[in-house]
Amino acid sequence: MKNEKNKSIGNLIIEKSYNFALRIVKLYKYLSENKKEFVIAKQVLRCGTSIGANIYEAQSAETKKDFIHKMGIALKEAKETIYWLNLLKDSDYIDVKSYNSITLNCDEIIKLISKIISTSKKNITNEVK
């Protein structure tokens, strides 16, 4: 039963990070085509799509420590994405409603990744005992 729960969380993070990446791509297109903003848009595109890429890569990790490391990179990219989204909002490139919606998605991903990392670390500790 425990494995099924972990497997469903794994599938959930893959799905959420992919859907988030799609939102980021659409945001990039909007910013570059409508607002003519390219520098920050490219930064948010890079880190916002990197989250899911690192999560996908973690699925093929060679060891549990490698898995945790790759998920840690995804977590850092998610936090960096929040930074760039804050900058876009505060410089009036995106409205508050759009900002709230997309950062809510990113915050959910951050919480899921954090839980996956902490659970994985506990599992490694329990295996050593």
Predicted confidence (pLDDT) at residue 3 exceeds the cutoff of 70: no
Domain assignment of residue 100, yes or no: yes
Domain assignment of residue 129, yes or no: no
Per-residue pLDDT at 9:
63
Domain assignment of residue 127, yes or no: no
**pLDDT band at 126; cut points 50, 70, 90:** confident
Predicted confidence (pLDDT) at residue 114 exceeds the cutoff of 50: yes
**Tens digit of pLDDT for each residue in 45-61?**
999 999 999 999 999 99
Name which residue leads in pLDDT, 2 or 55. Answer: 55
Per cent of the chain over pLDDT 90 is 88
Predicted confidence (pLDDT) at residue 27 exceeds the cutoff of 90: yes
**Tens digit of pLDDT for each residue in 48-102?**
999 999 999 999 999 999 999 999 999 999 999 999 999 999 999 999 999 999 9
Secondary structure of the chain in HEC code, one letter for each residue = CHHHHHHHHHHHHHHHHHHHHHHHHHHHHHHHHHCCCCHHHHHHHHHHHHHHHHHHHHCCCCCHHHHHHHHHHHHHHHHHHHHHHHHHHHCCCCCHHHHHHHHHHHHHHHHHHHHHHHHHHHHHHHHHC
Cα separations in angstroms, 80 against 1, 84, 116? 35, 7, 19
**Residues of the domain holding 38:** 2-121
Domain assignment of residue 75, yes or no: yes
Per-residue pLDDT at 13:
97
CATH code: domain of residue 41: 1.20.1440.60
Per-residue pLDDT at 8:
60
The domain tally of the chain equals 1
